[in-house]
Structure 1
Amino acid sequence: MDVNRLPKIGLPLILGIVILLIFLFKSTITIGSGEAGVLYKTFGGGVVTDEPPMGEGFHFVLPWNKVFIYEVRQQELSEKMLVLSSNGLEIGVDATAWHQPAYNKLGSLHREKGENYIDRVIRPAIRSAVRSVVGRYTPEQLYSSKRDAIQNEIQEETKKILDQQYVQLNEILVKDITLPKTIKTAIETKLRQEQESLEYEFRLEKAEKEAERQRIEAEGKANANRILNASLTDQIIREKGIQATLELSKSQNAKVIVIGSGKDGMPLILGNQ
């Protein structure tokens, strides 16, 4: 064997192994937990949209193709903005959106919106919905009873926009609504006065009910006395008096001295034995 030929054979072999290693390195990709990949075929039509995205784990990819990795878990986006109420006052709104890409539409999202879809799509959609909804209400409604209704309306309008943009909206939370200080003070004063008025009306109503109860009770007693008086004839009274006198005469501590008072006078028992 000619030893002088070994370097000539070994060099191409080493070069081939290096090229193979580079090929293998460029042809593999690992997609992490909570992520998915969009395949871009350089010589095969660009972004793949008619197949599901590449899932978690290890994948072989031709070295001339590319994979764009997206987080597909739920994400949080907070927005603080100033918008106008129905009467033109500036209102501060602090809202949070929970969102994630529509998994099976990830290829279309990448092709049409790009990796910066949060700033291109989600943020403008939230701002548009908040402006639209808050503009329907007065500061008084925003401050008090309409908070839940406003949150639901913002979520519905934002979802309507994002459903067409390959984004899944899970929830909108309105964390705070800030009014101008003078308006807030005026609303609080008005609410306090309304509460005091309601308390005063309650006390009046309670007093009226108590007076009505006492009137009914007095009328009942008066009616009972009239019925009793109408039933007490002179003869009944005389019989009751005689019966009471007889019972009293049986007492161990009493001796009877009977006297009469007038024609129909009742007997009286006086003195001791």
Structure 2
Amino acid sequence: MKNYLNAVFRRFRYGFIFTVLILVFLLIILWDKIVYKVPDGHEAVVWHSFRFPWAPNYHAELAGEGLVFIWPWDKFYLYDVRLKTHNETYQVVSQEGLHFDIEMTFRWRVVGENLVELNHEVGLDYLQSMLIPEIGSVLRHVVADYRAEALYTFERNAVQARIYEEVTGGSLPNHIGARANQEPGITIVLQDTLMTRIELPETLQTAIESKLAESEMVAQYQFRVERERLESERKQIEAEGIRNFQETVAPAITDSYLQWRGIEATLQLAESDNAKVVVIGNSANGLPLILDTAEGVRRPDAASISASLTEPDTADEPDSASDPGGTRQPGSEVVQQ
């Protein structure tokens, strides 16, 4: 048997070597059509050109990340299943017949489980053939119900929400679903649609901005008027409180009470470390006035001040010994120590 195999090999060795060389040559030539790489965040669809008897409906299959080997006559379609963003400018017409441009920004992702259906019905160019036309059609339909000024000012969010709802609502046979839509057959999930820029005619834009500025000025004046009104009410309430306080406290305040409070204040000042001169008033109930003086002047103690304030007023008769000229006023006294 061994001799037989050796004889066969020697007989067909040149044909075998030639066949191997042909296969290596074809592998090098057809390498790019046989071996494919699916990067991270991508998925692929492999379409088979020939039908097999045991699987007559088997035309395409999904391929995950990594190296994929196919027959040279099959087709390989690579899809990016990550979140993608696109900006597109559309020409629209408002309710009053004004033509202007709106720039839309929309984000989407492809559903990897339904790539075969997307590849069969739309293909790799689904952005230009499905997404952009569908969003543009809905945008023109929605904008036609609004005035240009409303779109430029306070209706932008409402228009964005309405566009998103109509594109993903299921009323259009576009296989585009919303973020939380898990229905079968959805090939593209639309994340959001944003109106990033509204390009109105310059004259209209200037007029709208001037109107908004005037509205803000009116609101500012109204705020000032309301602030002054509240301030007036506050002052009125404060004045009423002061009046009620005075009406309540005034009957209980007497001259003796005020004199006693003055004595307490004088005693507290006299007990401080600062040098001072105490000048007693020229009336029977006059309160002392304490002034700063130079260093080295002896301060009166609290007992002497209290005694001088509580003694009867006998200053009506001038003392010739202490005031020979009779120049001191009755009832006044200077105390220095």
TM-score, length of structure 1 as denominator length: 0.71
Shift of 1:126: 1.7
Give the corresponding residue for 1:184.
205
- Distance in 2 (alpha carbons) for counterparts of 1:36 and 1:250: 104
Contact 1:94 1:174 in 2 (8 A): yes
Q: Which has the higher helix share?
A: 1
Equivalences for residues 256-267 of structure 1 within 5 A: none
**Higher mean C-alpha displacement, 34-43 vs 108-117:** 34-43
Contact 1:31 1:55 in 2 (8 A): no
Give the corresponding residue for 1:48.
59
SS at match of 2:95: coil
- Distance in 2 (alpha carbons) for counterparts of 1:202 and 1:174: 32
- Distance in 2 (alpha carbons) for counterparts of 1:156 and 1:149: 11
Give the corresponding residue for 1:35.
42
Residues 10 and 185 (structure 1 numbering): CA distance in 2 closer, same or farther, change over 3 Å? Answer: same
* 2:125 counterpart letter in structure 1: N
- Distance in 1 (alpha carbons) for counterparts of 2:58 and 2:209: 57
Residues 149 and 20 (structure 1 numbering): CA distance in 2 closer, same or farther, change over 3 Å? Answer: same
Shift of 1:79: 0.5
Give the corresponding residue for 1:206.
227
- Distance in 2 (alpha carbons) for counterparts of 1:219 and 1:254: 42
Describe the superposition over 1:47-84 as per-residue Cα deviations: whole angstroms up to 9, x where unpaired: 735x5x11122233234333223333333322011112
Residues 18 and 35 (structure 1 numbering): CA distance in 2 closer, same or farther, change over 3 Å? Answer: farther
Unaligned 5+ runs, structure 2: 1-8, 178-184, 261-282, 287-307, 317-328, 333-337
SS at match of 2:63: coil
Contact 1:47 1:107 in 2 (8 A): no
Does residue 170 of the first structure (1) align with residue 179 of the second (2)?
no
Of structures 1 and 2, the larger Rg is shown by 2
Give the corresponding residue for 2:292.
none
- Distance in 2 (alpha carbons) for counterparts of 1:73 and 1:81: 25
SS at match of 1:87: coil
SS at match of 1:30: strand
* 1:36 counterpart letter in structure 2: E
User: Percent same amino acid at aligned positions?
Assistant: 29
Contact 2:152 2:198 in 1 (8 A): yes
SS at match of 1:145: coil
Residues 126 and 11 (structure 1 numbering): CA distance in 2 closer, same or farther, change over 3 Å? Answer: farther
Shift of 1:124: 0.7
Equivalences for residues 177-256 of structure 1 within 5 A: 177-221=198-242, 254-255=313-314
- Distance in 1 (alpha carbons) for counterparts of 2:104 and 2:229: 49
Shift of 1:254: 4.2
C-alpha RMSD of the superposition: 3.9
Give the corresponding residue for 1:264.
none
**Higher mean C-alpha displacement, 143-152 vs 72-81:** 143-152
Q: 2:103 aligns with which of 90, 94, 102?
A: 94
Shift of 1:220: 4.7
**Greater length-normalized contact order (CA 8 Å, ≥ 6 residues apart):** 1
Residues 94 and 253 (structure 1 numbering): CA distance in 2 closer, same or farther, change over 3 Å? Answer: farther
Shift of 1:179: 1.9
Q: 2:151 aligns with which of 136, 142, 149?
A: 142
> How many corresponding residue pairs?
249
Does residue 16 of the first structure (1) align with residue 25 of the second (2)?
no
Residues 16 and 87 (structure 1 numbering): CA distance in 2 closer, same or farther, change over 3 Å? Answer: same
Residues 134 and 178 (structure 1 numbering): CA distance in 2 closer, same or farther, change over 3 Å? Answer: same
- Distance in 1 (alpha carbons) for counterparts of 2:236 and 2:158: 48
**Higher mean C-alpha displacement, 144-153 vs 110-119:** 144-153
Describe the superposition over 1:120-178 as per-residue Cα deviations: whole angstroms up to 9, x where unpaired: 11111121232233333332332223333333333333334423662232333332122
